[in-house]
Structure 1
Amino acid sequence: MTLSYKELLAQRESLEQAIAQARQIEIATAIEKIRGIVAEYGLTAQDIFPSRAGKSGKRDNVKKVPVKYQDSTSGQTWTGRGKAPKWLEGKDRSLYLIA
């Protein structure tokens, strides 16, 4: 027996609801287990996530790239990385190189 498009959509909706409900139950169970283990061993976020805990999202070891080009008229600069700025489009870049 072939199901109609509407019947298949109804089945999909039913399955999606069942999947979402099963996921929520499994997540709640997992969180409960994790909290029990954390409490039992006195763990901290640093113990579990040593590279992330206490960080504000900034990259500490990012090196600044030196400026390579400068527009003498406006004073604007560019490192030579990424898309070229409008003031440099269609021009000879060697004229704007910083010595």
Structure 2
Amino acid sequence: MASYKQLTAQLEKLHKEVAAARDKEVAQAIADIKQKIAEYDLTAEELGFTSAAAKPRRKSSASAVAKYRNPKTGETWSGRGRSPAWLVGKNRERFLIEG
């Protein structure tokens, strides 16, 4: 039976072989893909690789209009996101801001 030292040396050698084999196969895959892209004159959009900058983004409102107010503290909540602690388990209609 091999010693711990021998096994770790074998493991290190195998890790290096795995990394080298992967690098070689990745390089071949990239070459194949580039060849197909050139052969069919494909664009990034056709492949589904549009840049994040090219995608239209929703503009978020800087601040939403308050819908609820805590009469004790004056604290408000827009109704978006997680409910504030002062409103949890209570009838929200009582805290609606008339407007």
TM range (shorter): 0.5 to 0.7
Query: Residue 41 in 1 paired to residue 37 in 2?
Result: no
Larger radius of gyration: 2
Structure number with higher helix proportion:
1
| CA-CA distance at 1:22 after TM superposition | 0.9
Q: Deviations over 1:36-86 (max 9, x none)?
A: 11112211112222xx4244496869xxxx98962341223343x54x434
Against the structure 1 CA distance between its residues 56 and 40, is the aligned structure 2 distance closer, same or farther, given a 3 Å change threshold? same
- Runs of 5+ consecutive residues of structure 2 not aligned to the other structure: 59-63
Partner residue, 1:25: 24
Query: Residue 53 in 1 paired to residue 54 in 2?
Result: no
Against the structure 1 CA distance between its residues 69 and 91, is the aligned structure 2 distance closer, same or farther, given a 3 Å change threshold? farther
Q: CA RMSD in A?
A: 3.6
Matches of 2:87 and 2:5, distance apart in 1: 56
Which residue of 64, 68, 71 maps to 1:70?
68
